[in-house]
């Protein structure tokens, strides 16, 4: 990664320039058996499309608050980087009533209805599948995002010193996210390109976000993000660590 990177979106651009084919996020849901692997290029494509949805269809501007009522999931990681690309504040598990836009998983739709702005629903089905029946009052992300452009250009430059992330009551600027992600990488066992971290931490704390996205991204590493890891027997976990060539773990 480049020393000049000041925002999470900068980190993704540098990763794309360095090695677009390498794995970035490998996601497991051990309650359903789902496994998805996204290269840097594939992940960046999802981010670009989602950022275009935010900026173009939802009219999100820098500084607007986007409440993310989503679990630790590869699509949540996409939304975090899409918000960073636009300059919006990603408010993880934030209050929908105080947000300009809410993005909800299938288990938080009722809470999300308190948002008076645009509402987006994610089915969180394997391979990014759509809802069998779209929830009333919501855009179905899986329906809306495929038609968005693969190329994203923000209408306004993103200021790295402006708020970019709120999680567990803590606010971070884009620059702080990058700085902390780099500073904490070594403590997670990330030593640079080739490192592969398995994280079972949820996305509802800074520590979970750092392990599950930001620190691997900041160091040229990759993450094996596991949801419902407690459902996996130890023997199968050992097999996964070997099969995924994991170099460090955090649970």
User: For the chain, how big is the Rg over CA atoms in Å?
Assistant: 17
CATH code of the domain containing 17: 3.40.50.12780
Instruction: Decide if 189 is inside a domain.
Output: yes
Q: How far is CA 96 from CA 90, 100, 104, 141, 164, in A?
A: 12, 8, 10, 17, 17
Distance, CA of 108 to CA of 128 (rounded, Å): 18
Instruction: Decide if 75 is inside a domain.
Output: yes
Domain coverage including residue 107: 8-250
Instruction: Decide if 3 is inside a domain.
Output: no
Task: Quote the pLDDT of residue 1.
Answer: 65
Structural domains of the chain, count: 1
By 3-state DSSP, what share of the chain in percent is helix, strand and coil, each rounded to 5?
Answer: 40, 20, 40
Distance, CA of 41 to CA of 48 (rounded, Å): 10
Task: Quote the pLDDT of residue 144.
Answer: 97
Instruction: Decide if 1 is inside a domain.
Output: no
Threshold 0.95, pTM exceeds: yes
Instruction: Decide if 2 is inside a domain.
Output: no
From first to last of its 251 residues, the chain has per-residue pLDDT tens of 677 899 999 999 999 999 999 999 999 999 999 999 999 999 999 999 999 999 999 999 999 999 999 999 999 999 999 999 999 999 999 999 999 999 999 999 999 999 999 999 999 998 889 999 989 999 999 999 999 999 999 999 999 999 999 999 999 999 999 999 999 999 999 999 999 999 999 999 999 999 999 999 999 999 999 999 999 999 999 999 999 999 999 99
Distance, CA of 199 to CA of 201 (rounded, Å): 5
Task: Quote the pLDDT of residue 127.
Answer: 84
| The two structure tokens encoding residue 96 | 């929908």
CB 1 within 8 A of CB 11: yes
Instruction: Decide if 220 is inside a domain.
Output: yes
Task: Quote the pLDDT of residue 3.
Answer: 75
């Amino acid at each position: 990664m480049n020393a000049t990177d000041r925002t999470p979106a900068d980190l993704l651009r540098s990763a794309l320039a360095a090695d677009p084919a390498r794995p970035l996020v490998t996601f497991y849901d051990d309650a359903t058996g789902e496994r998805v692997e996204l290269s840097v290029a594939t992940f960046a494509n999802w981010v670009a499309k989602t950022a275009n949805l935010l900026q173009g269809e939802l009219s999100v501007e820098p500084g607007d608050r986007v409440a993310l009522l989503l679990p630790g999931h590869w699509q949540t990681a996409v939304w975090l980087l899409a918000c960073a690309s636009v300059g919006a504040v990603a408010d993880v598990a934030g209050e929908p009533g105080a947000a300009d836009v809410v993005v909800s998983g299938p288990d938080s739709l009722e809470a999300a209805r308190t948002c008076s702005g645009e509402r987006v629903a994610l089915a969180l089905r394997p391979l990014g599948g759509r809802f069998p029946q779209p929830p009333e009052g919501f855009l179905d992300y899986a329906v809306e995002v495929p038609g968005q452009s693969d190329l994203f250009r923000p209408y306004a430059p993103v200021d790295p010193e402006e708020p970019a992330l709120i999680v567990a009551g803590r606010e971070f600027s884009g620059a702080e996210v990058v700085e902390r992600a780099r500073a904490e990488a070594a403590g997670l066992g990330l030593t640079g390109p080739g490192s592969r971290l398995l994280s079972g931490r949820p996305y509802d704390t800074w520590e979970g976000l750092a392990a599950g996205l930001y620190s691997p991204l900041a160091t040229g590493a990759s993450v094996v993000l596991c949801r419902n890891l407690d459902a996996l027997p130890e023997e199968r976990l050992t097999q996964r660590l070997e099969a995924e060539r994991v170099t460090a773990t955090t649970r």
